Structures are given as C-alpha cells and as structure tokens.
Amino acid sequence: MESLLQIIFSGIVTASTVVYALLTWRLVKETKLIREFQIKPDVRIYFERGEANNKLLFVVVENQGFGAALDVNFQVLKNLESYPEEYFNIKDKGVFKHGIVTLYPNQRHRYFILAIEKDNYNKVIEESLIIKTTYHDITNRKFNLTFNIPVKETVGVGLSTPPDNYSGRIPFYLERIDKSLKSLGKSVDELVTLKSDETE
C-alpha cells in the first residue's frame, strides 16, 4: 500500500514538473514575442486627402510600429502617370530619393502628389502607385514590403461645412469673422465717403 502511494506521489510530482516546464516554455515564448513586438518597426505607405481641401492628394510614409526603422530605402516600381514626369516624379521627392536613416515610431513624412480635378478625375482614380521599401530593426532583422496603393481608395472622402472637428472649426470661423470685418470696414468707408459728399 505504501509503495502504491509512493508511485502515485511520484507520478503527481512528475506530471506537475512536466506541466510547469510547459508553462515556463510558453511564458518564455510569449515574453520573446512581446519583446520582438516592442522593438518591431512597421513602415506603412498610403494616400491621404487634404484636410482643408479634399482635392489635394498626398502620399504618406509612416512608422506605425513601436520600434525604430533603420536604413529605410524606397523603390518606385510603378509611378502615377496622370501628370507628365517632368512635373511630377515621386522618385525625386524627399525620402523616396534619399531614404531615411532612422524613422522613429509615429514619425511620418507627407508629400503633395497632385490635385484631383474634374478634367483628370477619371484617369487618376484608376491609377495606383507601387512602392517597395526595405529597412531593418535595431537587431538588424531585415524587412521587405511592397505597397500597391490605388487612388480609388481615397474616393468619397468629403468635407463638411463647417468642419466636424474643433481644430477645423476655429480657422473656419476666424475666416468668416475676417470676411465680416472687411465687409463692415468697406461699408463704414462708403458711409464716411457719402457723409463727406453731403457736407460739401
């Protein structure tokens, strides 16, 4: 009976040890994944419409990760053709030409591309920009990403009047006040001129 109890106890201890070892391995693995996530950069390239004027199209490069992206380089595989290359060539714009030594978390670069007007609307929205980017993290792990960015994804971005946020409403109403003051000043000048004509 005593030997049976020893065998059961030994079995429980062995099973506990195995479970503990498995839990420890899992904890170490999760800790490693969390550490990698905390230092991993996530460079994204996307189009953005103008906040004050939605006809304007911008291309944005942003690090949405928690770690710094080092030695960031870009290769334009397919350019937009809406504007002649002599006037517009993304390859000659800032970071696309020179690269980025260090792109910190939440850091972004924004470049004006073109204005979407009635005469070029149908052509522009059918186009897409394809850019390849390479970079590495602080552990020298390399990343290669290719972005196919269609312009049509930005279609439907509208503006409300007045703007729907406070940071947009302040300049909107300041502009209206400025126009009202100018109009009032003009009316006062006309009244003064009229008054002086009457006194003469």
Confidence of residue 2 (pLDDT cuts 50, 70, 90): low
Cis peptide before 150 (omega within 30 of 0): no
Confidence of residue 19 (pLDDT cuts 50, 70, 90): confident
pTM for the structure as a whole: 0.69
Is residue 1 pLDDT above 70, yes or no?
no
Quote the pLDDT of residue 124: 85
Confidence of residue 6 (pLDDT cuts 50, 70, 90): confident
Quote the pLDDT of residue 161: 67
Task: Report which of residues 162 and 94 the model is more confident about.
Answer: 94
Is residue 69 pLDDT above 80, yes or no?
yes
Mean pLDDT of the chain: 83
Task: Report which of residues 83 and 133 the model is more confident about.
Answer: 133
Residue in this structure with the two tokens 């099973």, named with its chain if needed: 15
Quote the pLDDT of residue 14: 80
Is residue 159 pLDDT above 70, yes or no?
no
Is residue 90 pLDDT above 80, yes or no?
yes
* Range 58-80 burial, b when 16+ CB lie within 10 A, else e: bbebbbebebbbeebebebeebb
| Helix H or strand E segment including 85 | none
Residue 94 to residue 154: CA distance in whole angstroms: 23
